[in-house]
Homo-oligomer: A and B are copies of this chain.
Amino acid sequence: MTKPPTIRDVARLSGVSTATVSRYFSGKADTIAPRTIESVRQAAKSLGYTPSEIGRSLRLAQSRVVVMLVPDATNHFTADIAVSVESALKGIGLSMVLANTGENAEQQDRLLADAQGLRARAIVLQGAIDTPRLRELVATQGNLIFANRRPAQGIVAPYVGIDNFQAGLAVGRYFIERGYENWVAIHGPRHYFGSTARLDGFVSGVGDASRVLQLESLYTMQAGYEHACRLLDLAPKKYSVFCANDMIAYGFYRAAMERNLRVPDDLVIFGFDDNRLNEWLAPWLTTVKVPALEFGPAIAKLIETPKPGFEDGRSIILPFELKVRQSA
């Protein structure tokens, strides 16, 4: 409960100046006499001193905090990316602050303001919503990084993730190759710019937009389930469904099971993400694997790299892979 000791307390106790103590704690110990080092170490230890990140940040005009904004932290794929990023950042001496936008534009803008207040080293957005505030920040700060979903048209900022258009295209072509019919694309909310890249790719892949039934959906099991119920009850057919993520696919599958339909005989289902739950919950699901664990290192690299390249929209494109299993 007592006030934490400061650098001055350590300096006093070890009989040196605060400059020396500071050097010790900021990794410049090689210019200090061994005896001095020892006395500083002792003093710090006996006081239980930990340098204040706040003092440090103020002085250096830069914090060691990276803010990550996610639409839904309880989504498993999102959480995997967050964990990967957190761990990679830790490796380069940064901390990550996680915050939920709840898919809400105002909430996002409020969090962006907070991140600015914290003087975040970088702001990583998973599934950003296109708002004026966002555009303003990208333009004036240049420390925003888009993950998993490309920024909207006209926003120039680094992107880390797969090429969603190419992935959609590959799925579309696979549908053609297999001779699937009755195409359905359940795609993500339209306010996620970039979420449509998968859809556009898919449509290109099958080659005929007019024959694709497009349904807009939240990224949840619930939403997938409801779409499926409506579809399977109103116009039952052997559909070939491309889902915007695995959660939607789970929901769709459950509705199919309830109707005694089998994959792939009565229904074809293709997911997206290959989130780690699949192995346990949906080993039957054919899906596009997005390498969640590669996001951390890529983003860390982007943050570490000297500024000159930060504003130029350079991106790190990760590889995707079609995981063909039972459902398609």
Question: Is A318 part of the contact surface with B, judged by Cβ < 8 Å?
Answer: no
The answer to whether B117 and A50 have CB atoms under 8 Å apart is yes
A23 to B251, CA, bound (A): 52
Pairs A–B under 8 Å by Cβ, sample size 25: A3-B61, A50-B113, A52-B58, A52-B117, A53-B118, A53-B119, A54-B54, A54-B57, A54-B58, A54-B119, A55-B58, A65-B97, A73-B82, A73-B83, A74-B76, A74-B83, A83-B100, A86-B99, A87-B100, A90-B99, A95-B118, A97-B98, A221-B280, A254-B280, A281-B281
Q: How far is the CA of A3 from the CA of B140 in the complex (A)?
A: 10
Q: A4 within 8 Å of B by Cβ?
A: yes
A28 within 8 A of B: no
Closest 4 CB pairs of A and B: A98-B98, A53-B117, A50-B116, A74-B79
A235 at interface by CB-CB < 8 Å: no
Interface string of A259-293 (1 = CB under 8 A from B): 00000000000000000100011000000000000
Asked whether any CB of chain B lies closer than 8 Å to the CB of A153, the reply is: no
Give residues in A with beta carbon < 8 Å to B: 1-4, 48, 50-55, 57-58, 61, 63, 65, 73-74, 76, 79-80, 82-83, 86-87, 90, 95-100, 113-114, 116-119, 136, 140-142, 221-222, 250-251, 254, 276, 280-281, 307, 310-311
> Looking at the complex, which one of B74, B79, B97 makes contact with A276 (CB distance below 8 Å)?
B74
Asked if A119 and B311 sit within 8 Å, CB to CB, the answer is no
Instruction: State the Cβ distance, A199 to closest chain B Cβ, in Å.
Output: 25
CB pair B51–A1 under 8 Å, yes or no, is no
Contact B280 A250 (CB under 8 A): yes
Contacts of A251 in B (CB 8 A): 280
From B48, B57, B99, contact of A140 by CB (8 A): B48
What residues on B are CB-neighbors of A116 within 8 Å? 4, 50
The answer on a CB contact under 8 Å between A96 and B97 is: yes
Are B117 and A51 in touch, CB under 8 angstroms? yes
Note all chain B residues with C-beta closer than 8 A to A114: 53, 95
Contact between A95 and B99, CB atoms less than 8 A apart: yes
Complex Cα distance, B55 from A74, in Å, reads 33
What's the Cα separation between A160 and B280 when bound, in Å? 31
A104 CB to closest chain B CB (Å) equals 12
| Bound CA–CA A33/B118 (angstroms) | 29
| In the complex, chain B residues whose CB is within 8 Å of the CB of A307 | 1
Cα-based distance from A222 to B140 in the complex (angstroms): 47
Q: Are B52 and A119 in contact, CB atoms less than 8 angstroms apart?
A: yes
A52: chain B residues within 8 A (beta carbon) = 58, 117, 119
* Complex CA distance for A53 and B53, rounded to whole angstroms: 12
For A93, the closest partner residue in chain B by CB is B114
Q: Does B136 lie within 8 Å of A48, measured CB to CB?
A: yes
Q: List the B side residues contacting A65 at CB < 8 Å.
A: 97
- B119 in contact with A4 (CB, 8 Å): yes
Task: Write the nearest CB–CB distance from A324 to chain B, whole angstroms.
Answer: 22
Q: Is the CB of A86 within 8 A of B113?
A: no
A74–B80 touching, CB < 8 Å: yes
CA distance A183 to B210 in the complex (A): 60
